[in-house]
Structure 1
Amino acid sequence: MLFCGINPSLYSAATGHHFARPGNRFWPALHRGGFTSRQLAPAEQHELLTAGLGITNLVARATARADELHPDELAAGAERLTEKARQHRPRWVAVVGVTAYRIGFGRPKAALGRQPETVAGAGLWVLPNPSGLNAHYTVTTLAAAFAELRAATLVPSPLSRRSRAAES
């Protein structure tokens, strides 16, 4: 699974870690959604690889708000994401932010959830933006969206991997 955020916040750019701004709900939602065995801190993002997860952004330019990005930047980011998916071959790509997805991929009516198209052969899913600025979602509702993704894509939880290994 490759998670793709919109772009780094100024705080994330300063720290060098994805979803690093205090109040961002990505890390709690990722854990509560069943992707990690514990809640990781942004500085522990390298541990995602051991769970078979990756993380990137559509746009590298840091901004205070994602709505500061130009549509051309998002479209170019979608092209870069496609190339990353072609190179790294994840089974699934999850874009975190429906508005950025709509603009970047030219899908103005796209909804959250599984998308009918793929990204370089990888299944495609759109999640809500976990930024604290997105007041429509709580940690609980974000976690439910992440859990739906995990269940639909059959990504085993870290606990189930350990249980199967112990049985072997």
Structure 2
Amino acid sequence: MRVFFIAFILSASTLAPLPAWADCSDAAQPKVNWRRCFFDGQDLSGADLSDAMLRDAAFGRATLNGAKLAGADAYRARFVSATMKGTVLDGARLIEADMTRADLTGASFREADLRNAKLVNATLVNADFTGARLAGTDLRHSDMTGATWVDGKRVCGENSIGQCN
């Protein structure tokens, strides 16, 4: 009986193709699937990764200045110590993303979902959080000077460390 069951599973798996996984060597482009890929230390400045699948991807110490990640699914992605000045993350799904010590000066998070994300010690000077979801987001020690808050009206004052003052 056990041999029959194993044979059945093997034959069934050849009939139904498995889902395709990311090819981490694919070029940076909109809608690319870079799920679970590693780009630590790489320069992706100006890259258009709009609507890309970046779940569980790693961008530690990467440079993404001026990159477009609008609408990207970056659930649990890691951007630790990344340089992301002026990066567009509008409408991105950044739930549980780790942006600890990232430089996000002038980044746009309009309508982004940052629930339970880590932005500890991040530089968020002049960032735009209009319409962003921040429930459970860890902003400890982050510099939010000049950032536009979720209501789109309030601008964080000088010395807004860890919270918008």
Flag the structure with larger Rg.
2
For CA contacts below 8 A with separation 6 or more, give which structure has more relative contact order.
1
- Whichever structure has more strand as a proportion of its residues is 1
TM-score, normalisation: structure 2: 0.23
Structure with the bigger percentage of helix: 1
